[in-house]
């Protein structure tokens, strides 16, 4: 079913990339070379449930595939990145924490019925990792991880030059590696996930603040408790990152996201702590960089996913069993 990823777009029918975020819903139509020709965005109606959001997506896609001077062109394929747990084979979104009522949503089926074109559903961090691998810091890097640290922590893995999805598409959940047993409660239900410690939400909650920005401001003004929260978050993040580098012998890691706006100190503490969680020889072969692409990551990655070919690396040998 997912083989349509490998199909070439018919002439004149644009590839459409969609980036479904908790705040913004964006879409763009691409030319065959992968440049954005038209784009649009609306505020995601995140509290209204899946049907309403699907209507928003369809309306936005229709907008970006039609220009004032051209006739409507149905997309050749639409690729959507979703902030949640996704099975790209079935196109079902199992859960999306920031979107109300998103549980077991057959998103691909819903979109294909309304858009009349093949659709591909993928985790948003995987989409971003692919963009960074093809067009950013990860260019030419065979074994690469992209990690975003903002409100939450997301990650995508490129292993042996392919997006790695794991057994049911759930690979790359770096944010939910438990770093402190019995630590702060994570929205996934476990305690002490690195997401609950070093994400924007985790930092704010540890400091008893409204937002991570508030913690950063307080630390900059000399508040020792706030500085301590930031240092601890950065250190645990670095240790977890060291474990990831050890596990996969990565050639490079790119990190992006709002939390790095906390300044050089956060970054430096994190990088130093990588040594606490990794072997010197493995670490020496892994570059740790800031992500290059800050905007359009989700849209560009959606286009790049159409070049990725059929799903590889994670399918069960008896895959027919899961399709039956």
Binding site for Zn ion (CB under 5 A): 176, 186, 188, 190, 193, 195
Residue 24 CB, nearest approach to Zn ion (Å): 24
Beta carbon nearer to Zn ion, 141 or 240: 240
Residue 274 CB, nearest approach to Zn ion (Å): 21
Residue 201 CB, nearest approach to Zn ion (Å): 11
Neighbour tally for 182: CB within 10 Å: 8
Residue 71 CB, nearest approach to Zn ion (Å): 48
Q: How far is CA 261 from the centre of its chain?
A: 18
Residue 199 CB, nearest approach to Zn ion (Å): 10
Is 157:313 a contact under the CB 8 Å cutoff?
no
What is the spatial distance between Cα 282 and Cα 101, in angstroms, rounded to a whole number?
43
Residue 244 CB, nearest approach to Zn ion (Å): 15
Beta carbon nearer to Zn ion, 134 or 176: 176
What CA–CA distances, in Å, run from 231 to 82, 215, 252, 267? 31, 11, 23, 10
Beta carbon nearer to Zn ion, 168 or 188: 188
Residue 194 CB, nearest approach to Zn ion (Å): 8
Cross-strand pairs, 41: 26
Structure token digits, residue 160: 């042996």
Q: Where are the alpha helices (DSSP H) in the chain?
A: 50-65, 107-115, 124-135, 194-198, 200-207, 212-220, 224-248, 264-273, 280-284, 297-305, 319-323
With both helix axes pointing from N to C terminus, report the angle between 50-65 and 107-115 in degrees, rounded to the nearest 10: 40
With both helix axes pointing from N to C terminus, report the angle between 212-220 and 224-248 in degrees, rounded to the nearest 10: 120
């Amino acid at each position: 079913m997912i083989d349509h990823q490998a199909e070439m777009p018919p002439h004149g029918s644009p590839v459409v990339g969609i980036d479904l975020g908790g705040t913004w819903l964006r879409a763009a139509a691409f030319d065959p070379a992968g440049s954005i020709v038209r784009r649009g965005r609306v505020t995601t109606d995140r509290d209204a449930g899946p049907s309403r959001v699907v209507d928003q997506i369809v309306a936005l896609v229709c907008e970006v595939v039609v220009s004032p001077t051209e006739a409507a062109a149905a997309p050749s394929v639409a690729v959507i990145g979703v902030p949640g747990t996704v099975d790209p084979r079935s196109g079902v979104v199992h859960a999306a924490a920031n979107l109300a009522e998103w549980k077991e949503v057959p998103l691909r089926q819903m979109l294909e019925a309304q858009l009349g074109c093949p659709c591909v559903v993928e985790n948003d961090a995987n989409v971003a990792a692919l963009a960074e691998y093809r067009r950013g810091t990860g260019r030419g890097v065979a074994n690469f991880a992209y990690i975003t640290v903002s409100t939450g922590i997301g990650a995508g893995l490129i292993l042996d030059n392919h997006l790695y999805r794991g057994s049911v598409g759930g690979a790359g959940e770096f944010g939910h590696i438990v770093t402190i047993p019995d630590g702060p409660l994570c929205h996934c239900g476990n305690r002490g996930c690195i997401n609950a410690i070093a994400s924007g939400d985790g930092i704010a909650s540890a400091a008893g603040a409204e937002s991570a920005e508030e913690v950063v401001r307080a630390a900059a003004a000399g508040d020792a408790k706030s500085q301590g929260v930031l240092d601890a978050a950065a250190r645990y993040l670095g240790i977890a990152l060291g474990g990831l580098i050890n596990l996969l012998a990565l050639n490079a890691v790119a990190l992006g996201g709002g939390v790095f706006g906390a300044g050089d100190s956060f970054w430096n503490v994190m990088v130093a702590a990588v040594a606490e969680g990794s072997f010197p020889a493995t670490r020496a072969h892994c570059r740790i960089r800031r992500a290059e692409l800050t905007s359009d990551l989700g849209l560009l990655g959606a286009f790049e996913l159409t070049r990725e070919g059929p799903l590889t690396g994670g399918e069960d040998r008896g895959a027919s069993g899961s399709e039956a």
